[in-house]
Amino acid sequence: MTHELLIDMLESVSLESGGVTLLAQAGTVILHDATKNWVTNRYTGCTARIIGGKGCGQRVRITGNGHDTLTVTPAWLEGLDETSRYIIHQVEVARQVDDILQQVQSV
């Protein structure tokens, strides 16, 4: 399975997906996507996962969101940049995605 096919599959089961539009340093708790216009706190309690680019593999809980930002916990271990692609899942789906990714990695 190619990396792009895997990303397409992950995006197809997500609530939302996109790309980071503003640099986020390691240790910060914000993801910014200027292409969005979300309802405030729509994704609170969901999971965000970086699926491509810088910071790939990180998974965090969303503690709140503005119209084009996510606030997350824990802080980013590796910074994010314009190459970073993300998806947002409900917690239950995020656990299933973890299982799928573990299976793919073991192949």
Question: Which pLDDT value is given to residue 41?
Answer: 97
Interval 10-50: pLDDT, tens: 777 789 999 999 999 999 999 999 999 999 999 999 999 99
Distance CA 52, CA 63 (A): 22
Q: 99: pLDDT confidence band, cut at 50, 70 and 90?
A: confident
Measured over the CA atoms of residue 14, residue 7, residue 59 and residue 17, the dihedral's sign is negative
For 88: left if phi > 0, alpha if psi spans -120 to 50, otherwise beta; the answer is beta
Whole-prediction pTM value? Answer: 0.84
- Residue 94 near residue 49, CB atoms below 8 Å: yes
Question: Which pLDDT value is given to residue 3?
Answer: 67
